[in-house]
Chains A and B, each alone.
Chain A
């Protein structure tokens, strides 16, 4: 593997290798005082963040540091980007400094693909516009497998703003590769054109799909990407598509509730649900670290791969 740009880059074998590698790294570090491995000593990872992010940026930074790589974190704010430097020129600068991997988040869908054509190192997509966020899908799959023991045949319901969600897109691709059965539930206005062609079932009724779900994944309502009114009012959205305690009671005994964060408590998810024992929200964050370590190891831990 040279780059990780899309969850679709991973076939079943490659995706399983990432999840297994993350589990082995977890086991290797379990109970240790010093959670550090020498594996990527002397390699440089650049975090190139054109869009605000807390958990993903910190998670990648920590993952690279735990593997002993040198890390440079570069936010668009306070860099030459605010002076008008293009993505390509920034990329060439990083290239000249010898970055072995570039982790990129950008508000434009497809930016990581372009970047991969310009730099010699590996490119990891850490979220591009409304397109994809493959490491989020990997950490979600890892969390499901850890909690429920399998992915094959698992019934996963993804609820909310599917239209703007790169998390949903990457999850649908990865989960179907891994044999899960995915249902997306959203108001018709928040479903993308062409959702019929996705390997998913589509529903507009949350209450109907809850009882048979093994996993419910709530998506954040992304107000910053909403230029039009997609639903009448937050209250109405919350009433029809929000997960509250009453709805949570409809879930099967073993079912888990996921959220990629950051949450709008009281909007798509009620506080009592987010803090319940079914919720894996905190686990998702710590699993994200292991999964990103696995991805960096698999991209940089061997001989250089031709593009």
Chain B
């Protein structure tokens, strides 16, 4: 069956241009954690919901940093959006990923959706549909590590780690140690997309 896992050698012959190294990635996550704390009055009644795979990892990291900075325990949930996508029929069938509701649910809370890269906005649209099935949040905000532009839907992030202008044929990869064995953000161009 055609569900392609992430290739172990994602680069091949393509060129890889670093955008953030491990230190600046960590600083960016720290800044985002501070911003979320500031805008949510110390993460009051707030939950983080990560979109797999790397959005989920980032949500856990943000929660850990928020705990370190202000001693707050922010519930973390994971939401796979695959079954809600509007572009399923454009590609081979995708493998599903984990979904875990945050402890205490999302109803009447402030949900901060977390993803690694914001691009067309279609994943976020699917996530909004999926969230509706879990409950009725007081409000939904969006935190992304990288906003690379090229939106196809009227969607905007509330917290952005880094704005990176890109060409559509380039790929932005967020690499996280928990998943990829290293911490970096890179642009890949010229390889198979």
Contacts and interface: CB of A to CB of B under 8 A. Distances in A.
B88 A27 contact: no
Contacts of B22: none
A28 B82 CA distance: 11
Interface stretch (A32-40, A85-93, A126-134, A140-148): A32-40
Interface residues of A, number: 27
A303 B96 CA distance: 16
A25 B92 contact: no
A303 to B, nearest CB: 6
B99 A302 contact: no
Interface string A224-250: 000000000000000000000000000
A235 B96 CA distance: 48
Given A24-B80, A39-B84, A302 B96 contact: no
A32 B134 contact: yes
A17 interface: yes
Contacts, number: 67
B100 interface: yes
A261 interface: no
Interface string A273-307: 00000000000000000000000011101111100
B94 interface: yes
Interface of B: 1-3, 80, 83-84, 88-101, 129, 133-134
Interface SS of chain B: loop
Given A17-B1, A31-B101, A24 B133 contact: no
B99 A17 contact: no
A208 B168 CA distance: 66
Interface of A: 1, 13-14, 17, 20-21, 24-25, 27-28, 30-32, 34, 36-39, 67, 297-299, 301-305
B84 A302 contact: no
Contacts of B100: 27
B34 to A, nearest CB: 32
A298 B98 CA distance: 16
Contact of A27 (B3, B91, B98): B98
A36 B133 CA distance: 9
B93 A28 contact: no
B133 A298 contact: no
Given A31-B101, A39-B88, A302 B80 contact: no
A27 B93 contact: no
Nearest to B89: A303
A24 B99 contact: yes
A159 to B, nearest CB: 32
Q: Which of A31, A297, A301 has the most C-beta atoms of chain B within 10 angstroms of its own C-beta?
A: A301
Q: Which of B2, B92, B96, B100 has the most C-beta atoms of chain A within 10 angstroms of its own C-beta?
A: B96
A28 B96 CA distance: 10
Nearest to B2: A302
Contacts of B89: 302-304
A21 B2 contact: no
A297 B2 contact: no
Nearest to B134: A32
